[in-house]
A = this chain, B = another copy of it.
Amino acid sequence: MVVAVSEVGRQHSAKQQELADALLGIAATRGLDQVSVREVAAAAGVSIGTVQHYFGTKDAMLVFAFRHVVRRTRARVARIDPRLPPRRRLGLALRELLPLDAERTAECRVYLAFAARAATSPGLAAVQEETLTAIRADLRQALAGTAGADHGRATLETEARLLLAVVDGLMFDAVTAPGTLAPAELEAALDTYLDRIAP
A11-51 contacts to B (CB < 8 Å): 30-33
Residues of B within 8 A of A178 (CB): 125
CA distance A153 to B169 in the complex (A): 21
Which of A81-89, A113-121, A138-146 lies at the binding interface?
Answer: A113-121
Contact A162 B189 (CB under 8 A): yes
- With both chains docked as a complex, state the minimum distance between the C-beta of A171 and any C-beta of chain B, in angstroms: 8
CA distance A132 to B172 in the complex (A): 11
Which residue of B has the minimal Cβ distance to A112? Answer: B116
Cβ proximity bits A143-157 to B, threshold 8 Å, 1 near / 0 not: 000000000111000
Protomer copies: 2
CA distance A192 to B197 in the complex (A): 12
Asked whether A129 is an interface residue with its Cβ less than 8 Å from the other chain, the reply is yes
Contact B176 A118 (CB under 8 A): yes
Cβ proximity bits A99-137 to B, threshold 8 Å, 1 near / 0 not: 000000000010011011111110001001101110010
Asked whether A170 is an interface residue with its Cβ less than 8 Å from the other chain, the reply is yes
Residues of B within 8 A of A152 (CB): 195-196
Specify which of B109, B129, B167 is in contact with A179 (CB 8 Å cutoff).
B129
Residues of B within 8 A of A169 (CB): 164-172
Contact B176 A170 (CB under 8 A): no
Which residue of B has the minimal Cβ distance to A105? Answer: B119
Asked whether A181 is an interface residue with its Cβ less than 8 Å from the other chain, the reply is yes
- With both chains docked as a complex, state the minimum distance between the C-beta of A195 and any C-beta of chain B, in angstroms: 8
Cβ proximity bits A170-192 to B, threshold 8 Å, 1 near / 0 not: 11110111111100010011001
Closest A-B pairs by Cβ, 8 of them = A169-B169, A165-B169, A116-B116, A31-B120, A168-B169, A115-B176, A129-B177, A33-B33
